[in-house]
Amino acid sequence: MKLGLKRTILRAVGATVISLLGVELVRGQAGGPEQKPLMAEDAFKNIQVLRGLTVNEFMETMGFFSASLNANCTYCHGDDSGGNWAKYADDTPLKQTARRMVLTMNAINKAEFGGERKVTCYTCHRFANRPKVTPNLAEQYSTPPPEEPDQISEQAPGQPSADQILDKYIQALGGAQRLSAVTSFSAKGTFQAYDDPEKRPAEVYAKAPGERTTIMHAPSGDSTMSCDGRSGWIAAPETDKPVPVVALTGSDLDSVKIDAEMSFPARIKQIFSKWVVGFPFTINDRDVNVVQGTSAGGTIVKLYFDKQTSLLLRMVRYTELPIGFISTQTDFSDYRNVAGVKMPFKWTLTWVDGRSIFEMNQVDANVPIDATKFARPTPPRPALP
């Protein structure tokens, strides 16, 4: 599980970049959705149960294990794996247990649920390294927090239509005409990765339609995530061996496309389809309307709009893996006026492997941005000492 050196790598790089550190890819690969994805068994050694997954799916599955068990990489791979990528291939008792548990889970789903995935690691572990077996009386006799379904199956009765909520959102941002007039922007600020006390420099470049690049400057070197509207890539710095540029495929490519498209919300009704509105929810004491849409790539996305301001407070997108769903959550705040429209100057990205907080201090609209900003990044070099 090459997610990093315990929690330290999580502090050093951004979301998807973390999950791909140490992957042995060919530097000369061309990006694009038509590219054949690299499979986990071709990139890593000693893959026995989780064969047939792409590298991205495999690393996301490692994140699912981590989120289910409240454990980091070395919990299963052993302390010797910290700083030694080769040790991740070694068998340990916990790795062998994990393999048996995956097979057991698959067998239960096949025998009891006709192959439909109903039981996952999280079903029993619930953020504990051992399955919980004893009822918790405090949970039984207290009022539990409200739980949301992963998906909204049908329009909630008595709620406004998706069109009504989205129209208010567009109006709250400045109106369709002003939004359409903003076709590019560049931003500078900071990002703070999970468990890192320091804020690091960050840059964002975006251009309609669907182009966006985020650059994060960390002590170990720069990390980049870019999308040119059709293809997407991530580039990570070196650790103890070169880490090449990775072309994104499948749900990972769809995710960066969604972020790029949402940078210009004037087209929000066209970005998603199959709109449906769920029951109201509360985020940090703010009442919100919950609207669900489906991207062109099939990704289910839930959008949470503040009932009072009509602004977007949260976006959650779901990725389906062979062992369960994982979610990626982005919380937006600190909206400010830029060229007559409101833009969030702060957003918090949370996923199964960690959290990063982005805070911009300068955003310039309708600036010329060279096309190379959105092209396949060059392999990053480590930062100077």
* 237 closest CA partner among 193, 185, 189: 193
Q: Which value, to the nearest 10 degrees, does the dihedral of the CA atoms of residues 363, 361, 230, 341 take? A: -40
Residue at 14 is within a domain: yes
Residue at 228 is within a domain: no
Better-predicted residue by pLDDT, 134 or 24:
134
Residue at 64 is within a domain: yes
Residue at 94 is within a domain: yes
pLDDT digits (tens, 9 = 90+) for 327-353: 899 999 999 999 999 999 999 999 887
* Single-letter amino acid, residue 156: A
Count of domains observed in the chain: 1
pLDDT digits (tens, 9 = 90+) for 288-335: 999 999 999 999 999 999 999 999 999 999 888 878 888 899 999 999
pLDDT digits (tens, 9 = 90+) for 169-214: 999 999 999 999 999 999 999 999 887 889 999 999 999 999 999 9
pLDDT digits (tens, 9 = 90+) for 129-159: 888 788 777 777 887 766 777 788 899 999 9
Q: In the structure encoding, which two tokens stand for residue 165, read together? A: 């909520």
Q: Is 241 helix (H, G, I), strand (E, B) or coil?
A: coil
Q: In the structure encoding, which two tokens stand for residue 314, read together? A: 């949260």
Structural domain boundaries, residue 87: 8-125
Residue at 365 is within a domain: no
Residue at 343 is within a domain: no
* 50 closest CA partner among 42, 117, 36, 123: 42
The pTM of the whole model exceeds 0.85: no
CB 314 within 8 A of CB 341: no
Residue at 164 is within a domain: no
Q: 């393999």: which residue's tokens?
A: 99
Residue at 88 is within a domain: yes
